[in-house]
Amino acid sequence: MADIHKNEVDAVSGVSTTGHEWDGIRELNNPLPRWWLWTFYACIVWAVLYWIAYPAWPLVSSYTYGVLGWKSRDAVQVQLADLRAQRAVFADKLAAASLTEIESNPELLSFARAQGRAAFGDNCAPCHGSGAAGSPGYPNLNDDDWLWGGSLEQIQQTILHGIRSTDPDAHVGDMMAFGRDGILPRPEVVAVADYVRSLSNLPVPQGVTPDLAKGKEVFDANCAACHGPDGKGNPELGAPNLTDGIWLYGSGRDNVIASITNGRAGIMPAWAGRLDPTTVKALTVYVHSLGGGR
């Protein structure tokens, strides 16, 4: 890096050098290409204009708004309005159609299922699971067992008003705490539990000798009012069918004894005030189409 090279002209290219040299390699003093330079200047001008036109500089408690008055929030509003306009074609049809009409129209069904799936993920999945497979205490919506009925109208009613919620039209049913509240003594609770399990042919644990006669006696006196004399349940009261293979709180002997002892009162919130009617419709159709709908 000696100054002796400065302003020396390179023999091959005819360009002067900068005076920088490394291991015999000298740096040519080529200027930036003209188009590059002008692009650079144009960018600077552009940036200044941009600061004036658009929100740019943060101030202590505010910011420079820009003369065009553009706001990102307005841009989102416009995009949302566009989205609504795009969806309006189907959304309006969906709002106007009855639940049965939606299911019989492939286009509407497809649209409702898509919208319903999204709404389900946002609102229902925390309890029922993202695939609506449920978990103990939270029903599986894919199967064909429905506490409160699985028709389109019944599902819509349940979504709108909930179960044991604060909504005045909510489903209300009471499975009493027969053991805890002292209505039935422990041996009768055990006997009726064994009887109920026998209705769906569940295996008897080793070392247990069920007293089915006693159990049936207790069942007829205490349980048949809601669950029916044959234990088939009653969707009007949300009383589950005790003769099938689906057990919301588990089918083990201990689970059944616990249910009879402490009662059961699962809660589902009402969605009438939170979701608009079209979304509830879409949800209804989606849940119904999961495979369990009647």
Give every CB contact of residue 110 below 8 A, 6+ residues apart in sequence. Answer: none
Q: Cβ closer to another protein: 222 or 284?
A: 284
The answer to whether the beta carbons of residues 244 and 143 sit under 8 Å apart is no
Interactions with another protein, residue window 212-251 (CB under 8 A): 241, 244-246
Question: Can residue 144 be called a binding residue for another protein (CB under 8 A)?
Answer: yes
Among 133, 176, 177, 202, binds another protein (CB under 8 A): 133
CB 245 to another protein: min, Å: 4
Q: Cβ closer to another protein: 145 or 211?
A: 145
Residue span 255-294 as binding mask against another protein, x where in contact by CB under 8 A, dash where not:
----------------------------------xxxxx-
CB 47 to another protein: min, Å: 24
Question: For the residues of the chain, what is the DSSP string, one character each?
Answer: --GGGTTPBPTTT--BEEEEEETTEEEE-PPPPHHHHHHHHHHHHHHHHHHHHS---B-SSSB---TT---HHHHHHHHHHHHHHHHHHHHHHHHHS-HHHHHH-HHHHHHHHHHHHHHHHHHTHHHH-TTS--BTTB--SSSS--SS--SHHHHHHHHHH-BSSSSTT-B---B--TTTTTSS-HHHHHHHHHHHHHHTTPPPPTT----HHHHHHHHHHHTHHHH-TTS--BTTTTBPPSSSS--TT--SHHHHHHHHHH-B---B---TTTS-HHHHHHHHHHHIIIII--
Q: Cβ closer to another protein: 62 or 201?
A: 201
Q: Cβ closer to another protein: 4 or 12?
A: 12
CB 1 to another protein: min, Å: 23
CB 216 to another protein: min, Å: 22
CB 228 to another protein: min, Å: 15
CB 142 to another protein: min, Å: 4
φ/ψ of 21, rounded to 5, equals -145, 135
Question: Can residue 103 be called a binding residue for another protein (CB under 8 A)?
Answer: yes
Pairing type for strands 25-28 and 17-22 reads: antiparallel
CB 56 to another protein: min, Å: 26
Q: Return the range that interacts with another protein (CB under 8 A); candidates 90-98, 136-144, 169-177, 265-273.
A: 136-144
Question: Can residue 12 be called a binding residue for another protein (CB under 8 A)?
Answer: yes
Binding residues for another protein, total number by CB under 8 A: 25
Which tokens belong to 262? 């402490």
CB 242 to another protein: min, Å: 11
Q: Cβ closer to another protein: 102 or 260?
A: 102
Enumerate binding residues for another protein (CB under 8 A).
Answer: 12-13, 103-104, 106, 109-110, 129-131, 133, 140, 142-145, 241, 244-246, 289-293
